[in-house]
Amino acid sequence: MIQFNYIAAFFLICLGFYTIVTKYNLVKTVIGMSVMDYGVNLLIISIGYTPGGTAPIFTAGELTQASYFVDPIPQALTLTSIVIGACVTAMSMSLIIRLHESYGTLDTREIRRLRG
């Protein structure tokens, strides 16, 4: 059933791209970036998944040949990625507030002083 995760991840990434490309509202752009991030996170976590595995938390005594757990590295990566995603959102929201102050709009089509 892990295939559904991959399909969902692909779908989320594409949805993120779609939102960033077609929506002219800055906040929606940021939402698109977040959605894209979630798609990537889902992909990472799915890659580390092993059917039937337990959480990779154990002490040295518990470790046996038959120990069966999911790959811990992608989980660590996901944590990093989530933190970074949160930072991106925070940073872009603060930028949006300042942009709204100086441009008086959130429409990307009007925020284009720099061009050519």
Using CB under 8 A, list all residues that contact other proteins: 13, 17, 20-24, 26, 29, 33, 36-37, 40, 43-44, 47, 71, 73-74, 77, 80-81, 84, 87-88, 91-92, 95-96, 98-99, 102-103, 108-109, 111-116
Amino acid at 91: M
* Shortest distance in whole angstroms from residue 103 CB to other proteins: 8
Helix ranges restricted to H, the chain: 2-22, 26-47, 72-103
Amino acid at 70: V
Our CB check for other proteins shows the closer of 7 and 91 to be 91
* Shortest distance in whole angstroms from residue 51 CB to other proteins: 15
* Shortest distance in whole angstroms from residue 63 CB to other proteins: 14
For residue 34, which of 72, 116, 90, 78 has the smallest C-alpha distance?
A: 90
* Shortest distance in whole angstroms from residue 6 CB to other proteins: 10
DSSP category for residue 51: T
Q: Are 70 and 50 in contact (CB under 8 A)?
A: yes
